[in-house]
Amino acid sequence: MVIPFIYADVVKASNEDLTYTISVKPVSNQIDKQATYYDLLVEPSQKETLTVIVSNTGKEEKTLRVTPTNAITNQNGVIDYSRQDKDYKYDSNLKIPFTSLVEKEKQVTVPAGKSEEVRFEMTVPKEPFKGMILGGFLVDVVESEQGTDNSASGGVKIVNKFQLVKAVMLRESEETVKPEVVLNEVKPDLVSYRTAVTANLQNTEPTMFGDMTVEAKVTEKGKKEILKSDTKKGLEMAPNSNFDYPIMWNNERLDPGEYTLSLLATSGTKKWQFTKDFTITKDESNKLNKEAVELEEPEKPYWLYILIIAIFILLSLILLVLVLRHRAKLKQQQKKAKRGSHATGHKTKGGHKGGSKKRSRKSDRKE
């Protein structure tokens, strides 16, 4: 198992746009004294004040928002401290999220060239916990809405042009907890509106790890030929988190059928091997292929069209020949029938003439 580096700052913009900085105020129970984030050894029911220092390096006054967040693993296989939507579902094994231990988000107005401290009260759970609780303090800018009636809406909006974060790691012991990875659902999906199959990988333990390599192969069920394969290195996972590992389908159609996924995940000396069957239904195939972008349509089998046309022409010719032969045969039969009727008529006429001659001769003799 490899422990990933805890990122002190996460920036979602170029440095040219960054006109504020953040730091944390050291506390006595910091484990790693050199770290620029919180790495704290805590005790059950302990109360502590965590302080985020925000500095405005710009030329104008700024209102900054400081939000406690929980660490997750995003679809890129990276530990992520971003703010999540309200309906976001955290991992089922995450029993103590960091956000449940501290106060809610706060806003502070900082004059140009000045710094302000933003304090959050934290209370450690009464019951002991193993491993770690991982979260962070995320900071972004709140700007006035131009052209908006301030009396109606407060004239405030959040501008997520860039964000900075400081991680917070809580432990009650420095004992190492080993991660455990399981494979959950495998399904057809769209990733950035492109066809893919995703495999949900879950770290069920309260520990983070990194330097993970994932190798995935998809075949038709019962066959050995590899349809699609994918390998990614340098992945990491937050404690008690999961993410959908994507096997991209190269903009090809997701055909209905039964498939098998073979997946190997490794981190240091730890290995997790999985084999799982899954099905792509006709309805799933039609829906996802319809919604996908840049989908490559299968090449049209022109040779098949040519073959069908050739067979149709051939059958038409054969039928025509048969019809013509049948008509010719009928004509021949009709001609024979006419000839036969003429011959019979001639014989009948000749017989009548002979009879009359004989009768006339007999009558002459009597006379």
Classify residue 92 by burial, with Cβ atoms within 10 Å: 0-12, 13-18, 19+: exposed
Q: Which of 237, 289, 278 has the alpha carbon at shortest distance from 91?
A: 237
The answer to whether 203 and 179 are in contact (CB under 8 A) is yes
Q: What is the pLDDT of residue 284?
A: 97
Q: Is 249 exposed, middle or buried (0-12, 13-18, 19+ CB in 10 A)?
A: buried
Identify which of 49, 83, 81, 77 has the alpha carbon closest to the alpha carbon of residue 65.
83
Give the global pTM. 0.76
Cβ atoms of 197 and 164 closer than 8 Å: no
What six digits make up the tokens of 324? 């013509």
User: Side chain identity at 178, as an amino acid letter?
Assistant: K
Q: Within 13 A of 198's CA, how many CA atoms are on the CB side?
A: 17
> How many Å apart are CA 159 and CA 282, to the nearest integer?
42
The tokens describing 166, both together, are 């400081």
What's the rounded Cα separation, in Å, for the pair 102 and 35?
Answer: 21
DSSP string covering 64-104, please?
EEEEEEE-EE-TTS-EE-PPPPTT----TT--S-GGGTB--
Ordered by where they begin, the domains of the chain are: 15-171 (2.60.40.10), 181-302 (2.60.40.10)
What residues have CB less than 8 Å from 6, skipping those under 6 apart?
Answer: 35, 37, 39, 167, 169
Give pLDDT tens digits along the chain (367 positions): 555 655 556 545 555 568 999 999 999 999 999 999 999 999 999 999 999 999 999 999 999 999 999 999 999 999 999 999 888 999 999 999 999 999 999 999 999 999 999 999 999 999 999 999 999 999 999 976 544 444 344 444 455 568 999 999 999 999 999 999 999 999 999 999 999 999 999 999 999 999 999 999 999 999 999 999 999 999 999 999 999 999 999 999 999 999 999 999 999 999 999 999 999 999 999 999 999 998 976 655 667 778 888 898 989 889 888 888 888 888 887 777 777 666 665 555 555 555 544 455 444 544 4
Sequence-ordered list of residues with C-beta below 8 angstroms from that of 195, at least 6 positions apart, any chain: 188, 248, 249, 251, 252, 253, 254, 288, 289, 292, 295
With contact defined as beta carbons under 8 Å apart, do 66 and 108 qualify? Answer: yes
- Reference 123, options 98, 94, 91; nearest CA is 98
